A and B are shown apart, each in its own frame.
Chain A
């Protein structure tokens, strides 16, 4: 764990040996809070190695990252027995001194490039700023970095940096804004702006959270190359697959405290602390469930050749659904795999009957559904119910839980019967009936999603449509809600459509899986087949990306 230097001269100019970023007993407390957000954390970062900070949201990972750069929120108190860079004490540095370090010695790339790059400025300027602010120091380093002194030189340096990071047409990209680039290009641009001034260390906070699986793979390779080239990487993530691919050493954080630490391979395959084991469990394995085959059950919901476009018809408008067809049988769970923009939400809304169709039809129990007059359809909407991704947004802010759930009950029940039914539903989703008086904003994310499920079950539907129902939740909460869904699925035999971009979620719940992209279903079949022997190239790349192995280091199931 000591600061061994590695070879690799591709980041020329950075000092190689002896550089160390060290923190001992780092604590960060926010004003008005009794408990510290980070409590006595110690870590040490050396060039050429990757240290990972792992934990769920609220564990203090991002707070630590900011504290290491002196960028803690105003009102935060940062204390440490030691906080040093190459022996230089960082505690009590003035803002000006910090500004000279940031970007030049330590770089920071935070999460989503769409919001972490100024959306109104061309990325060339964002990258160029890093070069301009540290041009004197870069000039001292010699070599091509001296070009940072002039604006033209900075543009060239930025272009070559983008090229090295794998962005095509760098000269054109420099003039574009973050919103005009694709997800992968944006993230690379963000990383470029963080490493442009040749820092020895890079802190990457959730670098792959906003991208799809394929781009994720590419970014993992990119970060790996940076590390191989001599950068010391502090990787902050809740994604254990990412961590296993890159990290040499792992620190597990929980509520701001260090729970376990050790070499990555050892910790991930044989964790000692129960919390670490819980985290590993929650990273869902992409294993299909045993199938509950019943192929001759009647069809509940069937869609044929659905077409929807937004705005004027294509090519000017956007084609959201391009001839989508599917079939859901009684008691079956169909998983729909789709990245954002694939049209999955539009599909669900079309099935529900709230989306205007430009073509195709939906039948429910063999009888026309989409063709029904709105008035008639409205009366029967309860037969299909919906669990949205954003529970909070879907609940009237003035209503309490009881009102929210009761709203979905059929009309004509006495007040007494209504209350009893609400209590029953809350119990089904494992919520205490005492929560019935609370408002949506007063619940936690997991509780809200359960309320949403309870509401969806209230009308005794024939089929349940879930739109990324657990995607906004933390890993452990997600696992718990999914367990509840599984139980309900088993007990009620309800037909379900589960839409998700996460193969792990789909694997857990689905009997069959349909893969969707760009408004079309490219492959469909039994879950086991899709997950283990996909045939369509798109499906194959998705499955491969989720298998969480990179650089020869395969991720193994924890042995318990």
Chain B
């Protein structure tokens, strides 16, 4: 069977529906704010927007037109990739996002990879059929998953940068500069992934097929690498879409702390000024990224566990 293309297609269609629903939700949310929607777009009652700015926004968003026309307009614009204009940066939102996306994606992808490596390595090392290693391993995972990234980042900076001087304080795109921000994101995620997969790993180690494998002469390492990993990974892969979302959300804090350019920091700045078009655009783009990763996860899941009817993500 392998990759369940039908399921992938379903997911893709579902993803499109999700995007549509997200766009609709943001559409109504903007118009649900009490008061003048044009004012809300420009930053709320305290923004002191001038009358021309207000008029421009009204024209762009079509606030004086009937609701259904506005809706269709919005959908049409979104479909063509037109995300509006950031009034605080005076540039099209799409352009801003395009520039800043790279930095955040780099961080997110690296963090996801590092998190998986850490989680799998930790599981392979500490999962035993009984004994204190399990409790220890599980405990470390829980603590790791409970760490808030913003706090972890601060602690990492203090330890590795200020005290030990191993890594630079400023973050650039070199390995050294990326290490701390990636770790700050990856460690809690690794703890979470490992906790999720620990149960299925244990089930796999005590399953009848593991007994058969050992009865053939398979030893501990071979058993884990050849059998348990695939069974353990399934729930982790299913959570990947969510994990990616978490990483993008975490980038807001991490990029701010480490003063890195990226979507997260842009979003934070936009929120403080209440630049609604920019915020909306970023939020929609991250929803799209979530959908994309979910579809990819379905594909990878099919490769890891080709049985039909395995637990869906």
Residues of chain A at the chain B interface (Cβ within 8 Å)? 66, 69, 71, 73-75, 95-96, 99-104, 107-112, 115-121, 126, 129-130, 133-134, 177, 179, 190, 193-194, 196-197
**B220 interfacial by beta-carbon distance below 8 Å:** yes
Q: Are A115 and B307 in contact (CB under 8 A)?
A: no
Q: Are B211 and A116 in contact (CB under 8 A)?
A: yes
- In the complex the two chains form, what is the Cα distance from A109 to B214 in whole Å? 11
Q: Please report which residues of chain B, range 136-152, place their CB below 8 angstroms from some CB of chain A when the two chains form the complex.
A: none
Q: Are A134 and B212 in contact (CB under 8 A)?
A: no
Instruction: Evaluate whether A103 and B219 lie within 8 angstroms (CB atoms) in the complex, with A110-B211, A116-B208, A118-B227 already known.
Output: no
Q: List 14 A-B contacts (CB under 8 A).
A: A102-B216, A104-B217, A108-B212, A116-B212, A117-B209, A119-B307, A120-B306, A121-B227, A126-B213, A133-B217, A133-B218, A194-B215, A197-B216, A197-B217
- In the complex the two chains form, what is the Cα distance from A525 to B40 in whole Å? 82
Q: Are B209 and A119 in contact (CB under 8 A)?
A: yes
* Total CB contacts across the A-B interface at under 8 A: 88
Chain A residues whose CB sits within 8 angstroms of the CB of B304 once the complex forms: 120
Q: Please report which residues of chain B, range 212-235, place their CB below 8 angstroms from some CB of chain A when the two chains form the complex.
A: 212-220, 222, 226-227, 230-231
Q: Could you mark each residue 127-143 of chain B with 1 if its beta carbon is under 8 Å from any beta carbon of chain A, else 0?
A: 01111000000000000
Please give 5 more A-B residue pairs, beta carbons under 8 A apart, in addition to A74-B128, A177-B307.
A71-B215, A96-B219, A121-B226, A177-B306, A196-B216
Chain B residues whose CB sits within 8 angstroms of the CB of A75 once the complex forms: 130
**B207 interfacial by beta-carbon distance below 8 Å:** yes
Q: Are B214 and A71 in contact (CB under 8 A)?
A: yes
- In the complex the two chains form, what is the Cα distance from A254 to B51 in whole Å? 93
- In the complex the two chains form, what is the Cα distance from A69 to B212 in whole Å? 11
- In the complex the two chains form, what is the Cα distance from A177 to B209 in whole Å? 13
Interface hub of A69, A96, A100, A120 (most chain B Cβ within 10 A)? A120
- In the complex the two chains form, what is the Cα distance from A197 to B307 in whole Å? 28
- In the complex the two chains form, what is the Cα distance from A190 to B220 in whole Å? 21
- In the complex the two chains form, what is the Cα distance from A130 to B218 in whole Å? 8
Q: Are A129 and B216 in contact (CB under 8 A)?
A: yes
**B305 interfacial by beta-carbon distance below 8 Å:** yes
**How far in angstroms is the closest Cβ of chain B from A532?**
39
- In the complex the two chains form, what is the Cα distance from A109 to B307 in whole Å? 23
B129: nearest chain-A partner, CB-CB: A74
Q: Are B231 and A120 in contact (CB under 8 A)?
A: yes
Q: Are B217 and A103 in contact (CB under 8 A)?
A: yes
Chain A residues whose CB sits within 8 angstroms of the CB of B306 once the complex forms: 120, 177
- In the complex the two chains form, what is the Cα distance from A66 to B206 in whole Å? 13
Chain B residues whose CB sits within 8 angstroms of the CB of A111 once the complex forms: 208
Q: Are A107 and B307 in contact (CB under 8 A)?
A: no
- In the complex the two chains form, what is the Cα distance from A129 to B218 in whole Å? 8
Q: Are B215 and A102 in contact (CB under 8 A)?
A: yes
A131: nearest chain-B partner, CB-CB: B216
Q: Please report which residues of chain B, range 259-311, place their CB below 8 angstroms from some CB of chain A when the two chains form the complex.
A: 304-307
Q: Are A103 and B208 in contact (CB under 8 A)?
A: no
Instruction: Evaluate whether A120 and B130 lie within 8 angstroms (CB atoms) in the complex, with A104-B217, A110-B212 already known.
Output: no
Q: Are B211 and A134 in contact (CB under 8 A)?
A: no
**How far in angstroms is the closest Cβ of chain A from B118?**
24
Instruction: Evaluate whether A99 and B208 lie within 8 angstroms (CB atoms) in the complex, with A75-B130, A129-B213 already known.
Output: no
Chain A residues whose CB sits within 8 angstroms of the CB of B217 once the complex forms: 99-104, 130, 133-134, 197
- In the complex the two chains form, what is the Cα distance from A101 to B216 in whole Å? 9
B231: nearest chain-A partner, CB-CB: A120
Instruction: Evaluate whether A115 and B218 lie within 8 angstroms (CB atoms) in the complex, with A74-B130, A177-B306, A179-B307 already known.
Output: no
Q: Are B208 and A69 in contact (CB under 8 A)?
A: no
- In the complex the two chains form, what is the Cα distance from A393 to B215 in whole Å? 33
Which one of A71, A119, A197 lies within 8 Å of B211 (CB-CB)?
A: A71
Q: Are B212 and A117 in contact (CB under 8 A)?
A: yes
Which one of A73, A74, A177, A193 lies within 8 Å of B212 (CB-CB)?
A: A193
Chain B residues whose CB sits within 8 angstroms of the CB of A110 once the complex forms: 208, 211-212, 215
A104: nearest chain-B partner, CB-CB: B217
**How far in angstroms is the closest Cβ of chain A from B26?**
38
Chain B residues whose CB sits within 8 angstroms of the CB of A112 once the complex forms: 208
- In the complex the two chains form, what is the Cα distance from A110 to B210 in whole Å? 11
Interface hub of A95, A108, A129 (most chain B Cβ within 10 A)? A129
Chain B residues whose CB sits within 8 angstroms of the CB of A73 once the complex forms: 129
Top 6 closest pairs, chain A to chain B, by CB: A108-B215, A103-B217, A103-B216, A133-B217, A118-B209, A130-B216
Chain B residues whose CB sits within 8 angstroms of the CB of A119 once the complex forms: 209, 307
Interface hub of B130, B208, B231 (most chain A Cβ within 10 A)? B208
**How far in angstroms is the closest Cβ of chain A from B104?**
35
A108: nearest chain-B partner, CB-CB: B215
Chain A residues whose CB sits within 8 angstroms of the CB of B222 once the complex forms: 133
Chain B residues whose CB sits within 8 angstroms of the CB of A126 once the complex forms: 212-213
Which one of B215, B230, B307 lies within 8 Å of A69 (CB-CB)?
A: B215
Chain B residues whose CB sits within 8 angstroms of the CB of A66 once the complex forms: 211
B234: nearest chain-A partner, CB-CB: A120
- In the complex the two chains form, what is the Cα distance from A100 to B216 in whole Å? 9
B227: nearest chain-A partner, CB-CB: A118
Which one of A107, A118, A120 lies within 8 Å of B215 (CB-CB)?
A: A107
Chain A residues whose CB sits within 8 angstroms of the CB of B212 once the complex forms: 108-110, 116-118, 126, 190, 193-194
- In the complex the two chains form, what is the Cα distance from A10 to B158 in whole Å? 71
- In the complex the two chains form, what is the Cα distance from A355 to B130 in whole Å? 45
Q: Are A118 and B213 in contact (CB under 8 A)?
A: yes
- In the complex the two chains form, what is the Cα distance from A102 to B213 in whole Å? 10
Q: Are A194 and B208 in contact (CB under 8 A)?
A: no
Chain B residues whose CB sits within 8 angstroms of the CB of A197 once the complex forms: 216-217
**How far in angstroms is the closest Cβ of chain B from A399?**
29
Chain A residues whose CB sits within 8 angstroms of the CB of B220 once the complex forms: 95
B310: nearest chain-A partner, CB-CB: A120
- In the complex the two chains form, what is the Cα distance from A120 to B213 in whole Å? 14
Interface hub of A95, A100, A112, A126 (most chain B Cβ within 10 A)? A126
**How far in angstroms is the closest Cβ of chain B from A32?**
12
B226: nearest chain-A partner, CB-CB: A129
**How far in angstroms is the closest Cβ of chain B from A21?**
14
- In the complex the two chains form, what is the Cα distance from A380 to B161 in whole Å? 77
- In the complex the two chains form, what is the Cα distance from A75 to B128 in whole Å? 12
- In the complex the two chains form, what is the Cα distance from A133 to B222 in whole Å? 10
Chain B residues whose CB sits within 8 angstroms of the CB of A103 once the complex forms: 215-217
Which one of B130, B207, B214 lies within 8 Å of A102 (CB-CB)?
A: B214
Q: Are A115 and B209 in contact (CB under 8 A)?
A: yes
- In the complex the two chains form, what is the Cα distance from A17 to B248 in whole Å? 69
Chain A residues whose CB sits within 8 angstroms of the CB of B209 once the complex forms: 115-119
- In the complex the two chains form, what is the Cα distance from A86 to B207 in whole Å? 31
Chain A residues whose CB sits within 8 angstroms of the CB of B305 once the complex forms: 120
Chain B residues whose CB sits within 8 angstroms of the CB of A102 once the complex forms: 214-217
B209: nearest chain-A partner, CB-CB: A118
